[in-house]
C-alpha cells in the first residue's frame, strides 16, 4: 500500500480514552505522589542514594503507563483505498475489509441509560455483510466532518455500497 492507493485517510481527533476531569485527576494523583515521595525522602538521599534514586524512578511508573495508554487509546484511523477496500485501525489491532467483505454500512445509535435525567447514547458504524457484522467503529472516535468525507470517499470508489 502506498500513497497513490489511498483515496481517504482520517486519524482520530480524540479517541476513546479517559477524558476531561477523570484524566486530569489521574495525572494529578500519579504526578503528585512521586513528587511528594521525593520531597519527603530528599533529606535521606545522602544515606541511601542508589536505593532512593531507584524508588523515585519507579514511583513515576504509573504516570508513564498512563501517558502510554492515553496515546495508544487515541490510535484510531479510517483509510479508504482506490479499489474499495477499507482499513480500520483500532488501538490494538487493524482490520482490512475488501469490497466483498461488506455490502452495507449502517449507522445505529443505542440507548445506554440515564445519567442525572439525561439519556446516554452510543452511536456505532457497522460494516455489514448479509448475516454478519464484519467490523464496528464507535462514531465518537472521529468528528462529523471526517465521517462525511469517509462516506463520500467510500461511495466514490464503490458506488454499490449501501450507506444508511
- Which residue reads 542514594 in cell numbers? 49
Domain end marker among 55, 72, 89: 72
* 45 class by beta-carbon count within 10 Å (0-12 exposed, 13-18 middle, 19+ buried): middle
Do 65 and 139 fall within a single domain?
no
Do 94 and 159 fall within a single domain?
yes
**How crowded is residue 141: how many other Cβ atoms within 10 Å of its Cβ?**
25
What strand order describes the sheet that includes 86-89? 6-11, 77-81, 86-89, 94-97
Do 31 and 89 fall within a single domain?
no
Residue pLDDT tens, the chain, 164 long = 556 789 899 887 554 455 667 777 878 888 898 999 999 999 998 999 999 999 999 999 988 888 887 777 777 889 999 988 999 988 888 999 998 888 889 888 888 788 888 887 888 899 998 889 989 888 888 888 999 999 999 999 988 888 88
Do 66 and 84 fall within a single domain?
no
Do 35 and 57 fall within a single domain?
yes
Contact 33, 26 (CB under 8 A): no
Phi, psi dihedral angles at 146 (to 5 degrees): -65, -40
Alpha-carbon gap, residue 6 to 84, rounded angstroms: 10
The domain of 46 spans 20-72
| Structural domain count of the chain | 2
C-alpha cell of residue 68? 502510554
Contact 77, 10 (CB under 8 A): yes
Do 96 and 32 fall within a single domain?
no
Residue ranges of the alpha helices (H) in the chain? 20-41, 49-59, 61-72, 144-157
* Three-state secondary-structure class, residue 131: coil
Amino acid at each position: 500500500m502506498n500513497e497513490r492507493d489511498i483515496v481517504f485517510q482520517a486519524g482520530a481527533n480524540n479517541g476513546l480514552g479517559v477524558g476531561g476531569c477523570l484524566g486530569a485527576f489521574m495525572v494529578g494523583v500519579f504526578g503528585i505522589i512521586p513528587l511528594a515521595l521525593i520531597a519527603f525522602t530528599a533529606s535521606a538521599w545522602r544515606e541511601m542514594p542508589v536505593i532512593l534514586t531507584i524508588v523515585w524512578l519507579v514511583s513515576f511508573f504509573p504516570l508513564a503507563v498512563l501517558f502510554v495508554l492515553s496515546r495508544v487509546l487515541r490510535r484510531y484511523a479510517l483509510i479508504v483505498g482506490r479499489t474499495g477496500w477499507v482499513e480500520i485501525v483500532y488501538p490494538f489491532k487493524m482490520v482490512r475489509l475488501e469490497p466483498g467483505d461488506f455490502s452495507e454500512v449502517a449507522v445505529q445509535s443505542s440507548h445506554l441509560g440515564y445519567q442525572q435525567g439525561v439519556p446516554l447514547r452510543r452511536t456505532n458504524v457497522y460494516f455489514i455483510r448479509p448475516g454478519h457484522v464484519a467490523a464496528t467503529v464507535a462514531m465518537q472516535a472521529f468528528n462529523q466532518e471526517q465521517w462525511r468525507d469517509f462516506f463520500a470517499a467510500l461511495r466514490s470508489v464503490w458506488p454499490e455500497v449501501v450507506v444508511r
